[in-house]
Amino acid sequence: MKSTTNQSGITLLELLVALAVFSISAMAILDTIGTTSRVIGHLEQKTIGHWVAGNQLADLQLKSTWPNIRVTRTEVEMSDRLWFIVTKVEATARADMRKITVEVRLDKDHQSPLTSRVAFAGNVK
């Protein structure tokens, strides 16, 4: 007599292949999540840094005095963080204009700014 057994289920090999596919896709998803988190953090820093630079330019505008040619360094706290600002006031080809560059850094010794904004001031007579 012939014994026929119908087995339903998966073999060990099929299970291992399924686990391998799941592992590879899970690693790709985790890598994407990590990259996205880093990018979001950097964008948040740049956005707040841009606001800090804009605030610094607004402060200069509100003083309504003709800015002297110089470089100043200041520190500002915003969004529970200390921001380091370098403001450069430079002469232009026109004697009645000044170029104002505001650079925002994450720390004092950081060489390249996180963000910067440029504005021009005119001496109205």
CATH code where residue 118 lies: 3.30.1300.30
Global model pTM greater than 0.95: no
**Average pLDDT value for residue range 10-15:** 90
85 lies in some domain: yes
Domain contains 1: no
Secondary structure (DSSP) of 2-48: -------S--HHHHHHHHHHHHHHHHHHHHHHHHHHHHHHHHHHHHH
pLDDT band at 110 (very low <50, low <70, confident <90, very high): confident
Instruction: State the residue range of the domain holding 73.
Output: 12-122
What is the count of structural domains for the chain?
A: 1
83 pLDDT band (50/70/90 cuts)?
very high
In angstroms, the CA 16 to CA 24 distance is: 12
Q: Are 48 and 78 in contact (CB under 8 A)?
A: yes
Looking at the domain assignment, is residue 37 inside a domain?
A: yes
Q: Assess if residue 7 is contained within a domain.
A: no
In terms of Cα–Cα distance, which of 101, 100, 103, 102 is closest to 121?
Answer: 100
Q: Looking at the domain assignment, is residue 90 inside a domain?
A: yes
